[in-house]
Structure formats: C-alpha cells, structure tokens
Amino acid sequence: MMILGGDLGGTKTLLALADGEGRIVRQRRYASGDHAGFADLLADFLEGEGGIAAACFGIAGPTDGQSAKLTYLPWQLSAADLGRRFAIGRVALVNDFAAAAHGLARLAPEQALTLQAGEPLAASPRLILGPGTGLGVAGLLPENGGWRVIAGEGGHLGFAPQTPEQGELWRWLLAERGRVTTEDIVCGPGLVRVFRFLGGGPATPESIGTAARQGEARALAALQLWLSCLGAFAGDLALHWLARGGVYLAGGIAARLLPHIDPAPLLAAFRAKREHAALMPAMPLYLVTEEELGLRGALALAAAGL
C-alpha cells in the first residue's frame, strides 16, 4: 500500500508517492497557477495509480483538518471529497508550515546552515518560519519525547517598523494596501515591493537577488532592508516562544538567497531586542536549505496515519 504527500503553495505544488516506510517512488512538481483546482491536478498525478492507504497535504493557508482554501489561490479542498474521488483510505489536510515542522526531525545535518550557533536546549520550544509566496510560521513544543506542532497564520500579524526607513516603508504600503502585515514585506512578492519602494522598476525576487550579488546598489539596499525585516520578525517570534530549541528559517526564497549573501542585517535585527537583547545570542538560528521539507513532513504525517 502506498502513501501520498503534497505541499500545496501559491506558486508550486509538490506531490510524491511513497511506500509505507516513506521511501519516495514517484514525485512531480506542478506550477499551481496553471490549474483551476487541486483535484484535477491530483488526477493527473495519480493517473493509473491505486491502492493509496493514506494521504496528507500541506496547505498554504488555514485548515481545520477536513477543509481548506489556499490563501493566494481559489482552490477549495475537502478531505472527504478527495478520499472518495481517489479511493484514498485516509486524507488529512494540515497547514504547510505545520507539515514543514514535522519534517524537521528528518532533516539531515547538511540540509541546514548555522547562522547563529546559540546555546541550544534540547527540551525547549522550536520555531520554524519562512518566506515564499507568503510567510509561513509554526511552533514546536516538546511533548512525551517528541514534538507537538502548533500551526498558525503568524505571517499576517501587523508589521512593526523598527527603524525610520522601515517606518517609511510601512507608510508607503499603508497608502497602497491598507493594513500592513509582515507578510506584505517578508515574502517573495514582498521583496519586489521593497525594491519598488526604493525606486526600482519591474523585477522578480530572483532578479533582485542576482543583481544584489553582483553589487547593484538599489537591489542590494532592497535585499538588506528585506533581511532586516525578516530578522526582526524572526527575533520577535523567538522571544514569544523562547525558542531555545532553535529557530529555523525555511522556504525557497531564503534557501536560494541566504547562502550567497551577507546575513549581517538579518542577524543584527534578530538580536536587537532592547531589554532582552542579552537573550538573543543564546537562540540557535538555522537556515534550512532543503526546499522539500514540507513535502517530507506531509509524507511523515501520512505514514503516521496508517
């Protein structure tokens, strides 16, 4: 009997079939925006397949486990409907960063870079967050020798400017968008907004990152401002959770950019916590370079449901 896992995002969807031990036998990546709904995409992937015992899909948006809607796509999912249509024994829907959190236990040492070693405490909370099409967040609490994952929509917290320049960015976005969330800035499209705020023209996160690595002044300034916003937010959440177990930065944008640039603006903002600044160097901070973490976590949850 096979298990099925998926990581469903606003830009891409990853699907994989695996055996009961979690060994992947087939995997495919789809451009999410090319499909009107998830069921038709899944039908394409599962053509000719049968005997699926359990499935878990990580959803870029809130879910109650049985139904979900992606935040940035008009996809509506029902676990019961998917189970009936595709003859899957058990279907679970989870938040995509909850799935990524479950994938941390399967992360190899070489799949994470240490940005700040800190002083890790094994029995302390952990935190995972990451910018992609949006900004995902999940917490992990030690429980019975394992981890209890707490899903949330922390990326939609209001953006809290920490410098005069960030204050100007907040005012600029307020005029353009109304309420300003952290996700408006700390995500791939948010990097493009920061670049426009600084006077840049049409761009993509990838083109800004490439130009910054080549020393182009405006792109470099945009990336440094963006990193400072990411670092400040990660530090705020680390304080909220007292995440001495580790703070993990995940998501494709971070994985592609951070290994090639100076993380100093991120680290400085992460540590700048006024009366609690002395706590921050003890918080381990890691960059996850494995971009399929959410898919691996979804497969682990599907296997656990057998």
> 218 vs 57, 145, 161, 224, 229, CA distance in Å?
39, 48, 20, 10, 17
Q: 127 and 70 in one domain?
A: no
**109: helix, strand or coil:** helix
Q: 47 and 173 in one domain?
A: no
Q: 219 and 153 in one domain?
A: yes
Q: How far apart are CA 263 and CA 268, in angstroms?
A: 9
Q: 269 and 169 in one domain?
A: yes
Q: Sort 217 into a burial class: Cβ within 10 Å, 0-12 / 13-18 / 19+.
A: exposed
Q: 61 and 130 in one domain?
A: no
Provide the domain limits for residue 51.
Answer: 2-102+293-304
Q: 37 and 21 in one domain?
A: yes
- Tokens standing for residue 171: 């005012």
Q: 83 and 206 in one domain?
A: no
Q: 281 and 167 in one domain?
A: yes
Q: 25 and 12 in one domain?
A: yes
Q: Would you state the pLDDT for residue 251?
A: 85
Q: Would you state the pLDDT for residue 266?
A: 97
* Structural domain total, the chain: 2
Q: Would you state the pLDDT for residue 218?
A: 98
Walk along the chain (306 residues) in steps of 10 and give the mean pLDDT of each run.
94 93 91 94 92 94 94 94 95 96 93 96 96 95 94 95 97 96 97 98 95 95 97 97 97 86 96 96 96 94 84
DSSP designation for 5: E
Residue 23 CB partners (closer than 8 Å, separation 6+):
none
User: What CATH number is given to the structural domain containing 269?
Assistant: 3.40.367.20
Q: Residue 99: which of 303, 293, 260 has the closest Cα? A: 293
Q: How far apart are CA 93 and CA 298, in angstroms?
A: 9
Q: 27 and 153 in one domain?
A: no
Q: Would you state the pLDDT for residue 49?
A: 85
User: What CATH number is given to the structural domain containing 75?
Assistant: 3.30.420.40
Q: 20 and 149 in one domain?
A: no
Residue 290 CB partners (closer than 8 Å, separation 6+):
103, 107, 108, 111, 112, 255, 296
The C-alpha torsion from 289 through 293 and 295 to 296, rounded to 10°, is 120
Q: 38 and 125 in one domain?
A: no
